[in-house]
A and B are shown apart, each in its own frame.
Chain A
Amino acid sequence: MRSIDKLFENSARALARRTSRRSLLAALGQVLTGAALIPLLPVDRSARAAEPVASPANAHAKLKPATDDPKSCDYWKYCAVDGFLCSCCGGSSNSCPPGTTPSPITWIGTCHNPADARDYIVSYNDCCGKVSCGNCECNRNEREKPMYRPSRNNDLNWCMANADSNYHCSVSVILGVAEL
């Protein structure tokens, strides 16, 4: 399983390096649309290093307007999140809360990081297996498309192919730089 993950990760990274955003999206979309049984998408762990140290969790705190706070809906990576932020549910912007299971299928988007002025392709995975987290609801839809374009749609429950398809929260995982 891990080798398949690695293969997929390497392929996706290679694609990201050598293709335009649109062609990468198209390619990923084609793969993802029929990828119910493909294991977890690539996860760029460097995103965690870039994430600021989390402030003490207060799940019920009003979301702050801050592009560098992973508990804020305004955080740059969340530009097409529609759901509850896992950062407010025991996880982080790129990890699922304890006891949940990441969705193996997902939708993708492109978000602009004001800190380095780059556009990044991000994968919006859902974390599954528990009822709605209910904290830090976030509904942003930059470049989001209706469900007839599923790889760009955030209305679908992306836990749909999980053994337990209950939706808990959403993460935003950097896949690579979008080369326009």
Chain B
Amino acid sequence: MKTMIVQAALLSLAAGAPVFAATPAAPPLTAEHLTVTAMPPDNPHRIYVLDEAFFNEIDSRVHLFDGDTYARLGQIDSGFTPGFNLSPDGKSTVVATTYFSRGSRGTRTDLVEFTDNQTLKTTHEIVLPSKRAMTLPSYFNLGFSADSHFLYVSYITPAASFGVLDPAKYSVIDEIDTAGCVLVIPSGANRVSSICESGSLLTVTLDAQGHEASRAFSEVFFDPDKDPIFAQGVPMTNGYAFLSFLGQVHEVDFSGAQPAFHKPWPLVAAADKGHWRPGGYQVGAIHRRLNRLYVPMHQGGEGTHKDGGTEIWVFDMATHERVARWPLAPHKLPTVLALQVSQDDAPLLFAATDTSDIAVFDALTGQLRHVEKKLGQTAWLILNH
């Protein structure tokens, strides 16, 4: 090292330049202006990832991430045990959450916050009665009617009901008791379904002002004792697919006045039933045009329904055949707790791991494109538009 320094000094002297001067004289950096970055235009590969922040739960947030550039685009704060969803046009994020007046304690305020997805500014809020369902995030904690005329919020105290809100006037319209059935599954312009302990659905139809006009219970479509469904649906054309703990797929068509149930079909061959299971916090994603269902699957027995997938299985929704099986171990990925797929013609599959990494796959081939490390601490729900 000493020899090198001496050589450098000699070279500098030979060149007639001071030993430590910059070479050659570059123009100085220009003065900078502090700015605020604008959000890039929306695209089909933008995702909204809820970090539930389980280890400091009053401080959850929604991260916006671009699956093409792998850029972290920005953040929407979401308070304590939130629900969140996107407006049907994708322009707004709604967060149903709770704040305490002294940070971690004090007076509880439940509210819904509206954020503009192009500015990430929170623009409006609606204060709720202190009844908001404090539970795992899913599509069904709060959601819009198809025409965005109403916004519904799930309440659990633990008595179950839901709030009907006016997202144009930013007001609460009504609270509707759901006879013990939970969550809000919006359909059409004026219907809300909730999942009942008996294995049926309650569907409340609203009048034009947002008050109850009628209600009806469906037939029992799953057995909550022998093979319960996950209380989270996977959006599909005209409805949702509900997966059961043992891997049955219950497709429910919500396009009519009352839900209609397709014949259930299995993810798992008879020989593997009870050994391979779906699991996690967001247990599937469907590409609607391709009619492909993606499910995180693991090997395990009773009580492992929240274990993440060690493989992602891909199914053709028309034939019910498994068309691909993508193990995660070759990528050195831990188990996957949440899945989402973009709906475009070059679809990406997004997988949140139990270490809160986001893996980005080509949804057609299963090729791993990127792993975004640590997008928060507990990424449990991924939404997109």
Q: Which of A's residues lie within 8 Å of B, judged by CB?
A: 32-36, 79-80, 82, 105, 129-132, 134, 137, 139-150, 155-157, 159-161, 164-167
On whether A148 and B195 interact (CB within 8 A), knowing A132-B55, A157-B81, the answer reads yes
B-chain residues with CB within 8 Å of residue A146 when the two chains form the complex = 195, 224, 228-231
Interface size on B, as a range, is 35 or more
Q: Which residues of A contact B134 (CB under 8 A)?
A: 156-157, 159-160, 165
Interface residue B182 (Cβ < 8 Å from any Cβ of A): yes
Q: Are the CB atoms of A150 and B108 closer together than 8 Å?
A: no
Alpha-carbon separation in the docked complex, A144 to B306 (Å)? 10
- Chain B residue nearest to A146 in the complex (CB): B231
Query: What is the bound-complex CA distance between A147 and B135, given in angstroms?
Result: 9
Q: How far is the CB of B201 from chain A (nearest CB, A)?
A: 10
Most buried by B among A36, A80, A130, A164: A164
**In the complex, are the beta carbons of A166 and B157 less than 8 A apart?**
no
B80 close to chain A: CB less than 8 A:
yes
Q: Does B302 contact A (CB under 8 A)?
A: yes
Minimum distance in angstroms from A29 CB to a CB of chain B: 8
**Interchain CB contact under 8 A, B54 and A132:** yes
A127 to B303, CA, bound (A): 24
Docked pose: A82 CA to B106 CA in angstroms: 25
Interface string of B187-203 (1 = CB under 8 A from A): 00000000111000000
Query: Quick check: is B61 within 8 A (CB to CB) of the other chain?
Result: no
Contact call B306/A130, Cβ cutoff below 8 A: no
Among A80, A134, A150, A161, the residue within 8 A (CB) of B56 is A134
CB of B180 within 8 Å of the partner chain: yes
Q: Which residues of chain B from 80 to 136 have a CB within 8 Å of any chain A CB?
A: 80-81, 98, 100, 104-106, 108, 133-136
CB distance from A177 to the nearest CB of B (A): 21
Kindly provide the distance from the CB of A40 to the nearest chain B CB, expressed in whole angstroms: 16
CB distance from A101 to the nearest CB of B (A): 11
Q: Complex: how many Å from CA A165 to CA B109?
A: 11
The yes or no answer to B181 lying at the interface (CB within 8 A) is yes
Enumerate chain A residues within 8 angstroms of B180, measured Cβ to Cβ: 33
- A131 contacts across to B, CB distance below 8 A: 56-58, 104
Q: How far is B11's CA from A84's CA once the two chains are assembled, in angstroms?
A: 65
Are B108 and A165 neighbours in the complex by a CB distance under 8 Å?
yes
Q: Which 5 A-B pairs have the closest CB atoms?
A: A157-B134, A146-B231, A142-B303, A131-B104, A134-B55
Whether B158 pairs with A161 at a CB distance below 8 angstroms is yes
A166 touches B104 (CB 8 A): yes
Min C-beta distance of A147 to chain B, whole Å: 5
B287 at the interface (CB under 8 A from A): no
Residues on A with C-beta less than 8 A from B228 are 145-146, 149
* B residues with CB within 8 A of A: 54-58, 80-81, 98, 100, 104-106, 108, 133-136, 156-160, 180-183, 195-197, 224, 228-231, 302-306
- Contact: A160 with B197, CB < 8 Å? no
B229 contacts which chain A residues (CB < 8 A)? 146
Which listed residue (B105, B157, B183, B306) contacts A160, Cβ 8 A?
A: B157
Contact B159 A145 (CB under 8 A): no
The answer to whether A150 and B231 touch (CB under 8 A), given A130-B105, A141-B306, A166-B104, is no
A167 to B304, CA, bound (A): 24
Q: Are B135 and A157 in contact (CB under 8 A)?
A: yes
**Chain B residues with Cβ under 8 A from A166's Cβ?**
57-58, 80, 100, 104-105
Name the contact of A148 in the complex, choosing from B98, B104, B196 (C-beta under 8 A): B196
In whole angstroms, how far apart are the Cα atoms of A80 and B305 in the complex? 12
CB pair B306–A139 under 8 Å, yes or no, is yes
In the assembly, what is the distance between CA of A171 and CA of B231, in Å?
25
For the complex formed, measure the closest distance between the CB of A35 and the CB atoms of chain B, giving whole angstroms.
Answer: 8
Q: Please, which residues of chain A bring their CB within 8 A of the CB of B58?
A: 131, 166
B57 touches A164 (CB 8 A): no
In the complex, how many angstroms separate the beta carbon of A94 from the nearest chain B beta carbon? 22
Measured CB to CB, the closest approach of chain A to B191, in angstroms, equals 18
Which residues in B have their C-beta under 8 angstroms from that of A139? Answer: 306
A150 touches B158 (CB 8 A): yes
Measured between beta carbons, the chain B residues less than 8 angstroms from A160 are 134, 156-158
Query: A132 contacts which of B57, B182, B197 (Cβ < 8 Å)?
Result: B57
- A82-B306, A147-B231, A167-B81 known; 17 new pairs, CB 8 Å cut-off, are A129-B105, A132-B56, A139-B306, A141-B304, A142-B302, A145-B228, A146-B195, A147-B135, A149-B224, A155-B136, A156-B134, A156-B158, A157-B81, A157-B134, A157-B135, A166-B80, A167-B57
CA distance A140 to B302 in the complex (A): 11
Closest beta carbon of chain B to A78's beta carbon, Å: 12
